[in-house]
Chains A and B, each alone.
Chain A
Amino acid sequence: MPRMTQSGAMQAAIFEEMRRDERIILMGEDVRRGVVGYTAGLADEFGNDRVRDTPISEPTFIGAGLGAAATGLVPVIDLLMSTFLYVAMDQVLNQAAKLRYMMGGACDFPLTLVGATGGGAGMAAQHSESPHPIIMNSGGVKIVIPSTPADAKGLFKSAIRDPNPVIVLYHGALGAVRGEVPDDEDLVIPLGEGRVLREGTDLTIAAIGLMAKRAVSAADRLEEEGMSVEVVDPRTLFPLGWTAIADSVRKTGLLLAVDEARRTCSAASEIAARVTQDAFDALRGPPTVMAVEDVPMPFTPPLEAEVIPSIDRIADAARELIGGAEAR
């Protein structure tokens, strides 16, 4: 199985999909110039009609994506940074999320939006935060965040093939991480299906994107201390990859939900609420949320490291939860 980076895996996905389905077009700012790695080379193979550089007009190129999706195309739109979604919130939340429903199902909108999410690169708050909670509350836009190159490929392909609006957020800090990626052209991961990244019996850590990778590192460290931690990545946040989380918590009886979004209304707080309501009988301790405290992402590296959950903090919280349950 070939090893590739997340960016390489996404590039493989979009090349394969555009070869498979000529209705697919890709547009966004500088996509032909390859400012984000995964679009490099697309224009050479597919031409300037199917690969279009847009003006810096987020509301309009997302709205145009909806109009094109409604009329026979399958648009993929690159946003560069996921925070640029905020510029186009009407088209995302009022239009993409609602139009099919408001039309009584008369029309489908197969639209994929792609953007970089998360911090850690010293880009400050407007270029490095995690907008997924807002989309989770949209009611009508699916959202996925991969934590491995293989998932990046499979989720991106599934998003493109899905007949609904889907947002794919990839974490910049995972861009250069290599992993095994099947070269199967039909590698698709059902949206809404989570997976166990690492098995364990004492505690479940539910985490997404970069936090999932850090959770695995924390779990490896705790293994040396004799603790068995399971890490579950829901992969899709809406519809939430819930079953994998629920099955794991029913086995371990403890939940630590880790999120790079701000704490209030984060994905982690939603997961903790669901676990509390649906798996209460299995719990041996309080479902616990670890997220960014309610501040904008700071610029300077030491402060960024302060607010984003680290391997150390995840390990400390996990240790405390397991210890607390044993003491009860």
Chain B
Amino acid sequence: MTTLDESQLVDLYRRMTRIRHFEERVAALKATGELPGAVHIYIGQEAVAAGVCGALSVDDYITSTHRGHGHILAKDGQIDRCMAELFGKRDGYCKGKGGSMHIADPGLGIIGANGIVGAGLPIATGAALSSVQRSSGQVAVAFFGDGASTHGTFHESLNLATVWSLPVIFVCENNGISQLTPTSEVAALGGVAQHGAAYGIPGVTVDGNDVVAVHETTRTAVERARAGEGPSLIEAVTFRIHNHSEGLETIIGDIRDHDEIDQWRARDPLTLHRRTLEKAGIEASILEELDQSVAAEVEAAIEFARNSPYPDPDDAYSDVWAGEVRSAAFWGVR
């Protein structure tokens, strides 16, 4: 039985539905060719981002992954600036220089999504180190996938965070697949949480489609981190409904197991949470209003992104360096 009150339960739904509406529209926009580059859709995993970020303070840190839209939106990143970034426009979070895989908002503690598997774990570990040095009480969360659990940075980061007792929470979203290869084929252990034992820290497996369970597990880890007791490892078992990236089936064919997808659809994290909300006596109309308002916000964001200008050609040469205007000036380019 959950200890969350009604407003907390609704807030978790709000975080999930922001992601769901955003991702459904992004997938559609990608299909029509309106978005450049690759997009990795988070649908199916919403309970992980929402449950974790719902347990964090605004100034707590997260690092995210190539499948990062959900983390950014669950941490209350702006929908319009996210959308504009996916469009490659000047009003995007990164002024069109990062794109789908690299959204950051340091003001919200989002130190960045990252296109390299495993790269965010050391960065989150460093943010936790900074928190300790500044006695700020902030915690850091590194989101990563099961595919990153075979990466050296995963093991190195768990080790470093443990020996320095850093307030960092390693959140593995285990969707079972490393791009196209089932992780069970390429990882020595059947799961990820067991690795916690190797470093003497808690390693907890949780139903990654149950937002309340994810939330409560994270809260325990946050309390431990804030108390100075060190890192935790959470493995949230979930599933991604979409392909690794949108349109991949047009290149490699449809190799997915549709029975498996259907089984996971039956455990849709938003549907599951709506049942919880219903049991808690929360009126459906509240959720419908929330859905409508988020859907409207996403549509407005699409218009915002469409109307935002592309960066100027000259913008290609700024933002590399702090304190300097144009990197090209280094070489005397005229």
Contacts and interface: CB of A to CB of B under 8 A. Distances in A.
A163 B319 contact: no
Given A61-B122, A100-B321, A105-B319, A67 B332 contact: no
A104 B95 contact: yes
Contact of A102 (B94, B121, B126): B94
Given A103-B98, A239-B331, A94 B116 contact: yes
A55 B127 contact: no
Nearest to B92: A104
Contacts of B63: 67
A109 B319 CA distance: 12
A62 B122 contact: yes
Among B97, B130, B157, residue most surrounded by chain A Cβ atoms (within 10 Å): B130
Contact of A100 (B61, B125, B140, B322): B322
Most buried by A among B105, B128, B319: B319
Nearest to B98: A102
A72 interface: yes
Contact of B126 (A71, A139, A240): A71
B159 A57 contact: yes
Given A64-B122, A163-B323, A73 B130 contact: yes
Given A61-B122, A62-B122, A64-B122, A104 B97 contact: yes
B32 interface: no
A52 to B, nearest CB: 7
Contacts of A63: 119, 121-123, 125-126, 153, 157
B122 A60 contact: yes
Given A100-B322, A104-B98, A105-B318, A55 B156 contact: yes
Contacts of B95: 104-105
The contact size tier of chain A is 35 or more
A109 B321 CA distance: 9
Interface residues of B, number: 53
A94 B116 CA distance: 8
A232 interface: no
B12 to A, nearest CB: 27
B93 A60 contact: no
Interface in A152-168: 162-164
Contact of A71 (B111, B119, B319, B320): B111
Contacts, number: 167
Interface centre among A63, A64, A68, A73, by most B CB within 10 Å?
A64
User: Most chain-A CB neighbours within 10 Å: which of B102, B126, B134, B327?
Assistant: B126
Contacts of B330: 192, 238-240
B152 A59 contact: yes
Interface string B312-327: 0000001111110001
Contacts of A103: 93-94, 97-98, 102, 104, 106, 112, 319
B322 A69 contact: no
A60 B156 contact: yes
A52 B323 contact: no
Interface of B: 61, 63, 92-98, 102, 104-106, 111-112, 114-116, 119, 121-134, 138, 140, 152-153, 156-157, 159-160, 163-164, 318-323, 327, 330-332
16 contacts: A50-B133, A52-B164, A59-B156, A60-B157, A62-B122, A63-B157, A64-B160, A67-B122, A68-B133, A70-B123, A72-B130, A94-B116, A103-B112, A104-B98, A107-B112, A274-B331
- CB-based closest 3 A-B pairs: A63-B122, A67-B126, A64-B126
Interface of A: 25, 49-50, 52, 54-55, 57, 59-73, 75, 90-91, 94-95, 99-110, 139-140, 162-164, 192, 238-240, 242, 274, 278
